[in-house]
Copies of this chain bind each other. A is one copy, B any other.
Amino acid sequence: MDERTALRALAVDLPGAGDDAAVVGAQVVTTDMLHESTDFPAGTTRYTAGWRAVGASLSDVAAMGAAATAAVAAYGAPALDEDELRAFVGGARDVCESVGAEYVGGDLDTHDEFTVATTALGDVSDDGAVLRSGASSGEVVCVTGALGRSAAGLRAFEAGDVERGNDLFRFPPRVASGVAVAPHATAMMDSSDGLARSLHQLAEASDCGFDVSWDSLPVHDAVADYAGGDGDEREMAAYFGEDFELVFTVPESDLSAVRASAPVPVTVVGEVTAEGIVADGEPVPDEGYTHASNG
């Protein structure tokens, strides 16, 4: 059973599951477990790991349109080296500070493999949390920032460009954008499973379709440095995932307000349709990074 199938099975037991974070009263809470063999390529510093692991949970808070307030992390490693630990905490604290949240500590565990579990909390806006389920036909679908950053980062690590890899892996969680977009967005999630899979998940939750244009995708500058060609650029920007941009739907009439309030560029990549997920007239396969990031 892969993680998606397992999550579907769990949805029977946990009706609240299925969004990027769980809503508890006026708060959201989300947790993520990352570990060395799948999430931190050789060369990833502990500072980057702390930033990225906590950032992934902050991104889930952002995807609910909530203001991140606090995060904790449980840190497991074969040896509890003080320098590594302090570097990790430094990254965790700095990514929290970058979004106005507080890093308040965690747990330590001696563990065969470097493993991190992070949890972030956020305050829901007065308009309520933005779920995956509210998109309607005729709206536009947008993304914040640029896609492909993590794919490029992984290629950088693979090419031995460790400094660039670390830099690209320390992504900015889109908390301020999520809060800015929340009053307008009808559905939202982050792109951690890749844009293609995000569209499938939004479509499933909202019972809608999407018609997007590949050429409209905002692609991160670093992608061109590592891509093998156009097809590869698309793979990196639309399918690879592990990116932490926001994918959301809004009525077209709200676009100017969204762009005026969001602190990063917002790009329209397509529109919401009644059914089917197509790009330039061709079906978009439900492929990408299969992991689980719901609250």
- Structural contact, A90 and B13, CB atoms closer than 8 A: yes
Name the contact of A74 in the complex, choosing from B27, B117, B121 (C-beta under 8 A): B117
Q: Tell me which residues across on chain B come within 8 A of A90, comparing CB atoms.
A: 13
- Structural contact, A104 and B72, CB atoms closer than 8 A: no
- Structural contact, A104 and B14, CB atoms closer than 8 A: yes
Interface size on A, residues (CB 8 A): 63
A235 to chain B, nearest CB (A): 23
CB-nearest residue of chain B relative to A86? Answer: B13
Alpha-carbon gap, A14 to B104, bound state (A)? 7
A224 at the interface (CB under 8 A from B): no
| Contact flags A10-53 to B (C-beta < 8 A → 1, else 0) | 10011011000011110101111111011000000000000000
| Contact flags A62-86 to B (C-beta < 8 A → 1, else 0) | 0000000110111110011110011
- Structural contact, A115 and B76, CB atoms closer than 8 A: yes
A126 at the interface (CB under 8 A from B): no
Name the contact of A121 in the complex, choosing from B16, B24, B75 (C-beta under 8 A): B24
Alpha-carbon gap, A73 to B14, bound state (A)? 12
Q: Tell me which residues across on chain B come within 8 A of A23, comparing CB atoms.
A: 104
- Structural contact, A35 and B70, CB atoms closer than 8 A: no
CB-nearest residue of chain B relative to A101? Answer: B24
Alpha-carbon gap, A25 to B122, bound state (A)? 12
A106 at the interface (CB under 8 A from B): yes
Name the contact of A294 in the complex, choosing from B9, B107, B294 (C-beta under 8 A): B107
- Structural contact, B115 and A31, CB atoms closer than 8 A: no
- Which residues of A are at the interface with B, using a C-beta cutoff of 8 A? 1-3, 5-7, 9-10, 13-14, 16-17, 22-25, 27, 29-35, 37-38, 69-70, 72-76, 79-82, 85-86, 89-90, 93, 102-113, 115, 117, 119, 121, 291-295
Give 19 new A-B contacts, CB below 8 A, not counting A24-B102, A29-B121: A1-B80, A3-B80, A3-B108, A3-B109, A9-B82, A10-B89, A13-B90, A14-B103, A14-B105, A24-B69, A27-B121, A35-B111, A38-B110, A72-B295, A74-B117, A76-B115, A104-B295, A109-B292, A119-B119
12 contacts between A and B (CB under 8 A): A3-B110, A10-B86, A13-B90, A22-B70, A24-B104, A32-B74, A104-B295, A105-B294, A108-B292, A109-B292, A119-B119, A121-B121
